[in-house]
Structure 1
Amino acid sequence: MARMLSAEENDILTRVGPGTPMGKMMRRFWMPICTSAQVSEPDGDPLRLKLLGESFVLFRDTNGEIGVLDELCMHRGVSLALGRVEDCGIRCLYHGWKFGVDGTIMDTPNNTNPRFKQRMKAPAYPVREAGGLVWIYIGPKECRPEFPHFEFMNGPAEHRAVIRLNTRANYLQLLEGGTDSSHVGILHSNQANPTWMKDEFTARDDEDFNPGALASSDNAPTLEIEDTSFGYHYVAKRKGPRAEDGAPTVSVRVTPVFLPVGRIIPAPAYQFFVFEVPQNDYVTSTYIITHGNKPIDRGEIIRIMGLKEPFWNDQDCNFRADWSNGMGQDRAKMATNWTGFDGIEQEDAILAVSMGPILDRTKEHMVAADRAVIHLRARLLESVQRHEKGESPISHEIVDYTPVRSLPDTVIREGERWQDLVPGNSTVGV
């Protein structure tokens, strides 16, 4: 049995605000803060956003440039999210101070001294727009890494579907769920095995975008884990059919986990890149980017994720299921629907919310199938420890992630190397 986390370790892993060990480590990375679709129009409404316990305002100016400033106006502390976005800047409603995307003070109607504007700037942050997301860096200026490149940033936009979901749960609860392969065939039974209610197994081959598709009914996979420069990857080995010559086989499913908050989940024809980005200790923005070599129907991705009104919409992206509405569970249909919920991400988010804002991991009883989750915690703690010693966190030096791949269920002979099916995972950053 695995050693339980101490209360101190759980606190280190889950607290991300300014000055916390995890918060300081995470600030060394570029992080998504919203989708491009949320701020698509020049001079459109500003966005009030939170990241790692800090508050920001984001806007797209007249020229299409994006700016991210501290939310509160440097003059008297009024929220700039209430301001006017116009004429290449954002203007505070209180006294009309106006700021450019780089923090330049463009106008101070109640102060006519021109030298003031020239010697002061509002706090502004480096911004990049790529892959349907807006990314920012809020760490020390002298430590800013190169902007990372992921495979989903390549190709035409129609080959990519981007979804954001804001869930009232600590980021680690959601990230651990994404590194837990044994739950796929159970929690996501309707997506993994449509005949589960008959005590039969039927592989799903009708939806090549289904990340829950499994090739085996084995819900107690054997896990093998290998550290990489970006974090680690692991394989879930499930019992496979006999080969034509009678040799035993296994069905393998490979998941890369890139620190501090990312992973890639496989589907037959697509890769699901998922980032669990903490707004603060209690709210997480999940970014799901589905990417492949052919066009994607975003509506179908939203459907299989189970995201719909009244629990989620594509405007504010907030997930509203909670105990006051029974988590949205329809128990009347549970004879043919394992959970009474509508899809994969809805199921994952609801179970994370059900744990409470921050789970007390000192009370867990872990088993062998939880090895990848246990390893996630260990690698995150290792990354924090490195940073505390003045070293680079795990994955901090990696710029090009494009060779990193997940692998959907693939049958191989026992003893064959699964690593050879995802060769780029071991060479990235080396």
Structure 2
Amino acid sequence: MLSREDNDVLCRVGPGTPGGTLMRRFWHPVCTSAQLPHPDCAPLRVRLLGEDYVAFRDTAGQVGFLEELCMHRGASLALGRVEEGGIRCLYHGWKFSASGAVLETPNHADPKYAARMKAPAFPVREEGGIVWAYVGPIELLPAFSRYAFMDAEPAHRVVLRINVSCNYLQLVEGGEDSSHVGVLHTNMARPGWKDNDFTPNPDVVNPAALASKDLEPALKIEETAFGFQYVALRKTHKPGVRNARVVPFIVPYGRIIPAPAFLFTVLEVPQDDTHTSTYIVVHGETPITEEKIIELLGLNDPRYYNRKDCTFTASWADTFGQNRELMKENWTGLRGVEVEDATIGLSQGPLYDRSREHLVPADQAVVRVRRVLMESVKRAMEDKQPAALGLDLRGVSACDAQLEDGANWQDLLPSHRQTVEAQESADARR
């Protein structure tokens, strides 16, 4: 269990909080590229770490990320006109560039005045179908971290955003909890479960398609430069061979989940203390479509997901659409990996009190998430370098493979060792 005080440290991310201090050291996804589909399209209101911003794509296609309220009189720029190389406030027509330069002040048409002003604007990168921004102290601006999915061909990558009304850590911990996969996702993880007749799921896209029906995996954990990695070892029908599922945790909220033919990179970005934007990026060696992933996740039903504003819409109002009659054949009475995961996160309430829980050995990775985050918060509060900051993450991956007894599970992903060595080399040069 976690004390209420430590729970608040990890879960609260607003300005001036310890958790918020850590979060503001990193680049964050703020929207998908598809949410700003073309130059001079409608601006997008963004909530990030308890504060409000506006994102827009100017006439040249460049993305700007500004504080939401106009620096003149505080009207929302999310209502503004995006035109002629900038965003214009409706109230008095003040116009700002993507970099925050004040281009026009119609009610005080003195160019010298405008030249002295600058709107609060933040560094932006657009990579891998996602718009990223840095909102921390500019003197601590880190190098931008690249993920492997950023190098994938667009036809081999799908990017989704799902806004869920609960604290980010509930979703992070669910993602780092290997033992839940064979239970919560029973229908996809253990086909034939009702007859105790396990048949592996043949869907090569499904990250819940386990190769074993073992519900009590043995966990081994190793700290890394990006946070930690763990292996969940499950028994198989072959003597001397276990299934090894290796998953990384990337500070402050990232993970990569293996599917048979694809990788799912998941980033649980805090909007504030009780709302999260989940970014799911699927990539692999073969083409994949958004429709396939939407269906797999259970988000093709409008009862669960509003594709226009990316909101997960199910709630207690209709018991998350759970079908009790369907539970005769379907473990949860729900449908889809993300629908099941988001529903469980929401069922814990907006911000779960971890002082009430009772942990078991299968929760080791969850405990390690908290420990690594607490250490990272401490380092950030002391102006030290937290794990993963500025690290090239293209070598960080995940896998689901067979492992013979006595073999080294870390050898399944040697790129993780190389990532650590590259970081150590970079640290030595500083």
* TM-score bracket relative to the smaller structure: over 0.9
Counterpart of 1:69 (choices 31, 55, 66) is 66
Contact 2:145 2:390 in 1 (8 A): no
Distance in 1 of aligned mates of 2:319 and 2:177: 25
Counterpart of 1:304 (choices 296, 302, 317) is 296
Q: Which residue of the partner structure matches residue 212 of structure 1?
A: 208
Q: Which residue of the partner structure matches residue 270 of structure 1?
A: 262
- Structure 1 segments of 4+ aligned residues over 3 angstroms from their partners: none
Q: Which residue of the partner structure matches residue 123 of structure 1?
A: 120
Distance in 2 of aligned mates of 1:258 and 1:17: 21
Contact 2:102 2:114 in 1 (8 A): yes
The TM-score normalised by the length of structure 1 is 0.96
Query: How is 1:203-352 mapped onto 2 (pairs within 5 angstroms)?
Result: 203-205=200-202, 207-242=203-238, 247-308=239-300, 309-352=302-345
Distance in 1 of aligned mates of 2:346 and 2:303: 17
- SS for the counterpart of 1:182 is helix
Deviation at 1:315, TM superposition (A): 1.4
Provide, for residues 321-364 of structure 1, a one-character-per-residue CA deviation record: whole Å limited to 9, x for no partner.
11112111111211111111110011000110010010000000
The TM-score normalised by the length of structure 2 is 0.96
Distance in 1 of aligned mates of 2:106 and 2:379: 48
Contact 1:221 1:238 in 2 (8 A): yes
Letter in 2 for 1:395: A
Distance in 2 of aligned mates of 1:397 and 1:275: 16
Contact 2:221 2:229 in 1 (8 A): yes
Contact 2:298 2:339 in 1 (8 A): yes
Deviation at 1:413, TM superposition (A): 1.3
- SS for the counterpart of 1:279 is strand
- SS for the counterpart of 1:334 is helix
Q: Which residue of the partner structure matches residue 31 of structure 2?
A: 34
Distance in 1 of aligned mates of 2:320 and 2:293: 21
Contact 2:95 2:103 in 1 (8 A): yes
Q: Which residue of the partner structure matches residue 423 of structure 1?
A: 414
Deviation at 1:426, TM superposition (A): 2.1
Query: How is 1:390-409 mapped onto 2 (pairs within 5 angstroms)?
Result: 390-398=383-391, 400-408=392-400
Contact 2:306 2:313 in 1 (8 A): no
Distance in 2 of aligned mates of 1:230 and 1:387: 15
Distance in 1 of aligned mates of 2:52 and 2:211: 44
Deviation at 1:297, TM superposition (A): 2.2
Counterpart of 1:132 (choices 129, 133, 151) is 129
* Structure 2: gaps of 5 or more residues: 425-430
Letter in 1 for 2:405: E
Distance in 2 of aligned mates of 1:128 and 1:157: 17
Corresponding position: 1:354 with 2:351: no
Query: How is 1:368-383 mapped onto 2 (pairs within 5 angstroms)?
Result: 368-383=361-376
Contact 2:94 2:103 in 1 (8 A): yes
- SS for the counterpart of 1:106 is strand
Corresponding position: 1:11 with 2:8: yes
Letter in 1 for 2:113: F
Once structures 1 and 2 are overlaid, which stretch shifts more, 220-229 or 306-315?
306-315
Counterpart of 2:50 (choices 50, 53, 60) is 53
* Alignment: residue pair count: 420
Counterpart of 1:182 (choices 173, 179, 183) is 179
Distance in 2 of aligned mates of 1:284 and 1:345: 14
- SS for the counterpart of 1:110 is helix
Corresponding position: 1:79 with 2:76: yes
Distance in 1 of aligned mates of 2:309 and 2:235: 43
- SS for the counterpart of 1:190 is helix
Deviation at 1:397, TM superposition (A): 3.6
Letter in 1 for 2:349: G
- SS for the counterpart of 2:403 is strand
Distance in 1 of aligned mates of 2:222 and 2:72: 51
Deviation at 1:249, TM superposition (A): 1.5
* Structure 1: gaps of 5 or more residues: none
- SS for the counterpart of 2:233 is strand
Letter in 2 for 1:70: E
Percent identical residues: 52
- SS for the counterpart of 1:149 is coil
Deviation at 1:86, TM superposition (A): 0.7
Q: CA RMSD in A?
A: 0.9
Corresponding position: 1:413 with 2:410: no
Letter in 2 for 1:23: G
Distance in 2 of aligned mates of 1:279 and 1:208: 32
Letter in 2 for 1:232: F
Letter in 2 for 1:126: P
Distance in 1 of aligned mates of 2:407 and 2:25: 38
Distance in 1 of aligned mates of 2:289 and 2:114: 48
Distance in 1 of aligned mates of 2:384 and 2:146: 22
Distance in 1 of aligned mates of 2:93 and 2:212: 63
Deviation at 1:310, TM superposition (A): 2.4
Distance in 1 of aligned mates of 2:308 and 2:39: 17
